[in-house]
């Protein structure tokens, strides 16, 4: 039986010329997850898919698939939001590129993950409307680990099992994804020291759904520490770096 979907919300993650006139477009779709679809004539015909298949674009797509092993064929794409700021502001572009790389890395072909789609959409939308880029990235990272099932445990010290008191510094153990309180941290090498407010902020964000992320505004040292921990933790988890993060590091304060 052919599979046909219409008006499916989707984000363009990648777009590659294919042959003389076609494109293979990688979409991250609501309900459906990641798919690669052949867009016939997208490269040559300027009318049908013009400006709709650029990276980061939010579209509604219609596709068909004739049998299990065949390619998805893109029939139509309707522009919802081109997220123009991501193309005109360098910092927003860089952060959107980091988000895109994580989406390509962590999503699989046709695995339905609606919350991950909502998170990616929230992040690109926030960047587009000018919400602080580092803030957006920090919140995105905390929820990404959550939704992938890799939530680091900021609730209790892994040494004594106690919840660190408010106002107490903790160490984040990157490889274990756990924290250690000051009393237990003697002899702990390689942990990242976190201000009291950082662990508290991360715990608070972990407890809220994507729809309520806008209420959090991490800043200063707390923001830098969240980004530092998230970057290191993701490098350990995925055993690879995210290329786009390099360009972002270079233009911001060292962390
Ligand atoms: Zn302890």
Kindly list the protein residues that place their beta carbon closer than 5 angstroms to ligand 1, a single-atom ion. 157, 159-160, 181, 184
- pLDDT tens for each residue of 66-82: 887 788 999 999 999 99
- What distance in angstroms lies between residue 199's CA and the mean position of ligand 1's atoms? 14
Joined tokens for residue 142: 């905390």
Please, are residues 3 and 65 in contact by the beta-carbon 8 Å criterion? yes
Residues 224, 228, 234, 239: what is their CA dihedral angle, to the nearest 10 degrees?
150
CB within 8 A of 6, min separation 6: which ones?
A: 62
- What distance in angstroms lies between residue 102's CA and the mean position of ligand 1's atoms? 33
- What distance in angstroms lies between residue 178's CA and the mean position of ligand 1's atoms? 11
Please, are residues 196 and 169 in contact by the beta-carbon 8 Å criterion? yes
Domains and CATH numbers, the chain: 3-82 (2.40.50.140), 132-251 (no CATH)
- What distance in angstroms lies between residue 188's CA and the mean position of ligand 1's atoms? 12
- pLDDT tens for each residue of 167-211: 889 999 999 999 999 889 887 667 899 998 999 999 999 999 999
> Is pLDDT of 248 > 60?
yes
Q: Rounded to an integer, what is the distance from CA 111 to the centroid of its chain? A: 16
Looking at residue 113, what is its pLDDT? 82
Q: Which of 185, 187, 128, 188 is nearest to 157 (CA)?
A: 185
> Is pLDDT of 46 > 70?
no
- What distance in angstroms lies between residue 107's CA and the mean position of ligand 1's atoms? 36
């Amino acid at each position: 039986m052919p599979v046909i979907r219409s008006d499916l919300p989707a984000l363009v993650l990648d777009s590659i010329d294919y042959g003389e006139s076609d494109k293979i477009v990688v979409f991250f779709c609501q309900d459906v997850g990641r798919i690669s679809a052949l867009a016939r004539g997208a490269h040559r015909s300027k009318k049908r898919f013009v400006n709709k298949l650029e990276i980061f674009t939010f579209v509604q797509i219609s596709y068909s698939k004739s049998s299990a092993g065949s390619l998805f064929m893109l029939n139509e794409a309707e522009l919802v939001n081109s997220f123009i700021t991501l193309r005109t502001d360098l910092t927003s572009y860089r952060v959107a590129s980091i988000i895109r790389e994580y989406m390509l890395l962590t999503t699989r072909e046709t695995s339905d993950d609606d919350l991950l789609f909502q998170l990616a959409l929230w992040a690109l939308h926030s960047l587009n409307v000018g919400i602080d880029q580092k803030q957006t990235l920090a919140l995105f990272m905390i929820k990404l680990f959550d939704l992938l099932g890799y939530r680091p445990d900021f609730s209790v010290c892994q040494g004594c099992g106690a919840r660190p008191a408010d106002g107490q510094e903790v160490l984040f153990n990157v490889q274990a994804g756990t924290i250690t309180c000051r009393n237990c941290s003697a002899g702990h090498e390689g942990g990242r020291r976190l201000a009291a407010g950082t662990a508290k902020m991360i715990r608070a964000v972990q407890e809220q759904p994507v729809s309520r992320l806008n209420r959090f505004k991490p800043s200063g040292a707390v923001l830098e520490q969240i980004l530092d921990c998230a970057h290191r933790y993701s490098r350990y988890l995925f055993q690879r770096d995210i290329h786009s993060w390099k360009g972002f590091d270079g233009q911001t304060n060292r962390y």
